[in-house]
Structure 1
């Protein structure tokens, strides 16, 4: 996952007690994968992956989230984008979920299918291309990759179940956004049902590998009410005076990077969230090195980006 520095150099660094420094520039990998890159330092030095993992508490670099997967390099919200994030060495992927006409959760960002699929060509007689007006079977016919590049022709819009299977296979972590909840009654309950069915609401996943977020405050509240153990995030920049009310039902305040300041980050960090821990700040969508360095300097906890490798290099 890291730059492939010579094994001997890494081993020496670990023996000198700088393992925490090496990990601080990483992407909070699971223990078995955190040591897989750079020649497997643990195998060389005898340092356990557990001891390496504990240094994460001392990290200063923000966690990097691959926005809609590594969407600068593969079609957004597809399994190809998940795999590209994995190939680049990133645990955390972000996605968006919506309802089909027949109540199936699919992973797609826009509420309209035209930008990222060939829905207009496949269904030329339709008067609406809204996700909610298509069945899951109809959406499964669409090409969700050709718009990005011909090498991705035939890529499909995944269901949430298919997406979870891929993230699980890659041993990654998920920042799941409930998209436009105001037009999808019951989407919170169904999202949790699918997560539970696929094994994502057990203690291990809930504690270490899952965050559910939304621009809808009521949606975040509903998730917290239904599953108080799940980590939640609110997408937006509430007024500082309103932050205590958000802290009652969320663990993260996740604003646009254009709206965030050091004072705002400090105001968020001064509060404890729904689980009694310091409220975190993950900012979006940062795609260049200069902006990544700027927001990292403001003290944000995480950066959501289409270009995770660029952000990692800039902040690492």
Structure 2
């Protein structure tokens, strides 16, 4: 073969150094290590997608530590994409090195770059999992919840991945001379495929139900308003939440040095105001150390332009620049005009003047003229005093009821990670309203909808507002055996969407892989909205009998 042009040879050499070294000769230990790293990064990719729901907590944590506000979810996704892409390309190039014909240099003489980069990849992913376990252990609960929503889809994806793996695995088995290793690899692969074949028997989800058993769509509670559309805890954010059809505006209340309750989440003003510019020498002081006149000098919107500039129209940008810290009185007036309820926490709970904070807040509520049933009181301290002074205020508790069920709780507000689906169903049967926070991703909203929660607190009201149905529902009596040619044929013929040339090989592959019909139905229905349950062909009894044959 002729040498490549001079300008191409350095590029080819670089690619060869990155993607094929001494271990390209199929050293089995390195191949197994590479495959394990590939799976490791694939699992991390799944976790990265799941924890995006709670990434606002990470953003706030980083800001408290480094005083740097950034949407770190983009950094996470880009880094994860780089890791998974590198390990994938390396795995493919290992089984069939594309550059051997381009460069005549012996492979054994090349640099050990892939080994080094692969070890770094493994260490980075291991560090990510370790940090997740130390700082955000609750995210493991999120992962378990996610499996009840993604289980069928993951099963199909893993089956497809294992099928694709058959080719490089066959190449490795063919090249190795160790008979024991060959037997081990074949047995291991067969065991995994058998386990995947049986896996649907263990898939459980609250979304396995009859269509007519689906609970009503959970109401939306705007977390600090609509923080993806406007600066949090501002009157603009409240109005955007109203536009999203949320039923409750959730916020945080603090009390100024001269006794005026106002909206603010952070104990310090540096993240959401320009206090460093207006009061540079006092920027690190707590919010409650400023009087109301000083607080009104601060701009509460310009910071938002730095992170959401591209997503705002001209009118919204102008409106953002005018935002100030609103008082509780102003907020209650806006809530009354918009006929929206308001739920709030009173902070900081450990303040020495907390009792006076409660009294000042109650005074404003009672003087505002807002119907008391539109106010949801969340703070636990001095709750009995609140009940005496304002008996019409709705009490919502940030904890579960006691074990003996003697408490007469009507509303609870919990993290979605700290309550089971069984408890949600039990509370629903006992007419206890359950609000869960913070729910931003459609997959999580979907599974909580199926579980029967009353409402969810969200940062993404504009996204969840558009959902008219859970992502998927499965008929509880759908056959759990591997899908038969007849059942898939019935679905396809009923919808008349796929050409007949795909039926034979497609159905044969699905049947061989052991994908269950219960898993295929939500996929098919997402692709073909008019798809029907294979056991519901009332227009063709003969076809229904054929399709539903066990």
Give the alignment's TM-score, normalised by structure 2.
0.41
Give me the whole-angstrom Cα distance separating, in 2, the residues matched to 1:180 and 1:130: 10
Give me the whole-angstrom Cα distance separating, in 1, the residues matched to 2:349 and 2:262: 14
- Which residue in 2 is equivalent to 1:83? 239
SS of the equivalent of 1:121 reads helix
Deviations 1:120-146 (A, max 9, x none): 221111264211111111111111111
Q: Is the 2:223–2:249 contact (alpha carbons within 8 Å) kept by the matching residues of 1?
A: yes
- Which residue in 2 is equivalent to 1:226? 389
- Which residue in 2 is equivalent to 1:49? none
Q: Larger relative CO (CA 8 A, sep 6+): 1 or 2?
A: 1
Q: Is the 1:240–1:267 contact (alpha carbons within 8 Å) kept by the matching residues of 2?
A: no
Please show how residues 182-261 of structure 1 align to structure 2 within 5 Å: 182-183=350-351, 184-200=354-370, 205-207=371-373, 209-214=374-379, 217-235=380-398, 237-238=399-400, 241=403, 244-245=406-407, 247=408, 250-261=409-420
* Ranges in structure 1 where 5+ consecutive residues have no aligned partner: 1-57, 272-277
Higher mean displacement: 181-190 or 129-138: 181-190
SS of the equivalent of 1:98 reads strand
* Ranges in structure 2 where 5+ consecutive residues have no aligned partner: 1-213, 307-316, 470-550
Q: Is the 1:253–1:268 contact (alpha carbons within 8 Å) kept by the matching residues of 2?
A: no
Cα offset, 1:179, TM superposition:
2.7
- Runs of 4+ with >4 A deviation: none
SS of the equivalent of 1:182 reads coil
Q: Structure 1's 243 and 117: CA in aligned 2 closer, same or farther, altered over 3 A?
A: farther
Give me the whole-angstrom Cα distance separating, in 2, the residues matched to 1:171 and 1:138: 30
Please show how residues 1-316 of structure 1 align to structure 2 within 5 Å: 60-126=216-282, 128-149=284-305, 151=317, 152-183=320-351, 184-200=354-370, 205-207=371-373, 209-214=374-379, 217-235=380-398, 237-238=399-400, 241=403, 244-245=406-407, 247=408, 250-269=409-428, 278-314=431-467
SS of the equivalent of 1:106 reads strand
Q: Structure 1's 187 and 155: CA in aligned 2 closer, same or farther, altered over 3 A?
A: same
Q: Is the 2:254–2:261 contact (alpha carbons within 8 Å) kept by the matching residues of 1?
A: yes
SS of the equivalent of 2:324 reads coil
SS of the equivalent of 2:453 reads coil
SS of the equivalent of 1:292 reads helix
Cα offset, 1:267, TM superposition:
4.4
Cα offset, 1:189, TM superposition:
2.2
Deviations 1:126-177 (A, max 9, x none): 2642111111111111111111116222410001111112222223222232
Aligned length in residues:
242
Task: Indicate the structure (1 or 2) with the bigger Cα radius of gyration.
Answer: 2
Give the alignment's TM-score, normalised by structure 1.
0.70
Give me the whole-angstrom Cα distance separating, in 1, the residues matched to 2:406 and 2:457: 24
**Alpha-carbon RMSD:** 2.3
More strand by share: 1
Q: Is the 1:68–1:96 contact (alpha carbons within 8 Å) kept by the matching residues of 2?
A: yes
